[in-house]
Amino acid sequence: MVNSPDDSHVDSGHRAADELFRTFEGMIQSGELPDGMPLPPEREIVERYGLSRTVVREAILALSNKGLIEARPRFRPVVRKPSFDTALDTVGNVVNRLLEEESGVKNLFDMRVMVEVALSRNAATQANREDISRLKEALEANEAEIYNMDRFFETDIQFHRILYEMSGNPILPSIHKAYITWLQPNWVKMPTRPERNQLNFESHTAIYNAILMRDPDEAELVTRKHLSDAWDQINNILMRSKP
Amino acid sequence: MVNSPDDSHVDSGHRAADELFRTFEGMIQSGELPDGMPLPPEREIVERYGLSRTVVREAILALSNKGLIEARPRFRPVVRKPSFDTALDTVGNVVNRLLEEESGVKNLFDMRVMVEVALSRNAATQANREDISRLKEALEANEAEIYNMDRFFETDIQFHRILYEMSGNPILPSIHKAYITWLQPNWVKMPTRPERNQLNFESHTAIYNAILMRDPDEAELVTRKHLSDAWDQINNILMRSKP
DNA sequence: AGTTCCATTTTGGTATGACCAGACTAACGA
DNA sequence: TCGTTAGTCTGGTCATACCAAAATGGAACT
């Protein structure tokens, strides 16, 4: 039995390119290649590591695909510090395809409900003055745009974003962004009317009040109702477009 | 934004390879290339699409990196139907690097707490007989292995997995798997002792009972305590290895 | 016939070398 | 000084070649 000298792993990628990939991964992680720095030219890497350009290109492509660097068509690739945002970006493709299936959207939406319910419950027990004042601000901005469809949409999202930010966990805003990105396409087809906006604003108010009142059960209740309404809307659209 | 392969720009992604990527993406999605089917040989693709092998390989590499196909070193790549599992796989690299940083592990762990609290609350209000009997089964298996460190660890994970499965949302088991994968490395270093196992088992029992009693508040309380204990353990380890 | 084993063919991995076109740079002329 | 332009740099694509491991099919054996 022939054994590779080093790899204990299941030889996943390509031996050489994979190794180079890990090399650069390490250099990025260690800060040797700081955020924003362009990678050396391919031919220089070729020379420095004694590899073929083929291998170098594959490694770079892999770095790009994994979101570690940003490679525009004819420019040098640029190191891109990883964030939960970029992490969620890289799954975008896969998730989008999952959403095409049967109950994909429903499942993702349910996840969102679960998270937002938890967020509003937590907010109701832990929010501090500043959190609440930010939420109030968002709420007022929301009210001010009831008759402006596009702006209302933005302030709606902003209100929810504040909820995610109030968690104090930097992962959650990234998740919010991901939800928006993935669920938006199903959402925007909805015909919005001022009455609809009015209802949504009232839901937001109810959530805000429940948090203000430090009543997690109420916060959960109104959050569920709010999202359930939203789902009904989405569902109507989905039923109509995919019978 | 990451260069999604669907850029409308004139020249954004790699023109040729990207196009091929989308072609295969479409064929996989449409079922023309069903799950488990190997891709055609590179040279055949070259011939069929009139492209160079370089381009074909880059496209295949991209498919592989995005998790749409599984490419082992010298085997034909195999179509891999996307699942939330594979989606989370593809972020593994990035997440792992994020965990190296400052409060990365803490943040991820907090996410887990939030999710599991929500899960146990929901279970307490919605679990049906079968759910509860599965959980009981896992609990008993857990108890039976208190003096077997490795097996206890497994049954511990299994107990939590049931909680995730009880949600009925297929995304959640994938998330559980991701948590395990990402947090495990920090976990396994913990010296486990039977006393420790006994405590964990008692926590599991408390969670089970709260669900059985349909008491979401109690379920939340004991879940938080259980995970908080676990965190203390992890934290000790982290403090010791990274002072 | 069924199984084992080996030689041949496929096929993926790597290496070269070449050429193009867009981006970059520096010298040149108004 | 500033805008233009020619030359260079660099990534994208192509064609070819070779190697080693995998797949394949048939010969040899039980």
Residues B39-67 have pLDDT tens digits of: 888 998 998 888 899 999 999 998 888 88
Domains of chain B as residue ranges with CATH:
15-81 (1.10.10.10), 86-241 (1.20.120.530)
Q: Which residues pair with A38 in a beta bridge?
A: A78
**Strand C interface, A 60-99, C-beta < 7 A:** 74-75
Q: Is the pLDDT of residue B160 over 80?
A: yes
The mean per-residue pLDDT over the stretch A103-116 comes to 88
Look at A53-57, A90-94, A112-116, B33-37 and tell me which has the smallest mean pLDDT: A90-94
More confident call, A5 vs A128: A128
Q: Is the pLDDT of residue B97 over 60?
A: yes
Rounded to whole angstroms, the Cα distance separating B156 from B134 reads 14
Token reading at A240: 């109509």
Length of chain A: 243
The mean per-residue pLDDT over the stretch A93-109 comes to 76
The mean per-residue pLDDT over the stretch B186-207 comes to 78
Q: Is the pLDDT of residue B235 over 90?
A: no
- Compare all CA atoms of chain B with the CA of A217 and give the residue at the minimum distance: B217
The mean per-residue pLDDT over the stretch B90-113 comes to 78
Percent of chain B whose predicted confidence (pLDDT) is above 90? 25
Q: Is the pLDDT of residue A14 over 70?
A: no
A115 to B110: CB separation less than 8 angstroms, yes or no: no
- Band (pLDDT 50/70/90 cuts) for residue B8 is very low
Instruction: Select from B87, B93, B122 the Cβ nearest to the Cβ of A95.
Output: B87
For residue A77, what are the CA distances in angstroms to A49, B27, B120? 18, 30, 45
Q: Which chain A residues are within 8 Å of B64, Cβ to Cβ?
A: 13
pLDDT value at residue B190:
62
Look at A120-129, A234-243, B86-95 and tell me which has the smallest mean pLDDT: A234-243
Q: Is the pLDDT of residue A4 over 70?
A: no
Residues B12-23 have pLDDT tens digits of: 446 788 888 989
Q: Is the pLDDT of residue A93 over 90?
A: no
More confident call, B124 vs B66: B124
Which residue type sits at B193?
A: R
pLDDT value at residue B119:
95
Look at A75-79, A108-112, B69-73, B99-103 and tell me which has the smallest mean pLDDT: B99-103
CB A165 within 8 A of CB A172: yes
Q: Which chain A residues are within 8 Å of B61, Cβ to Cβ?
A: 58, 61-62, 65
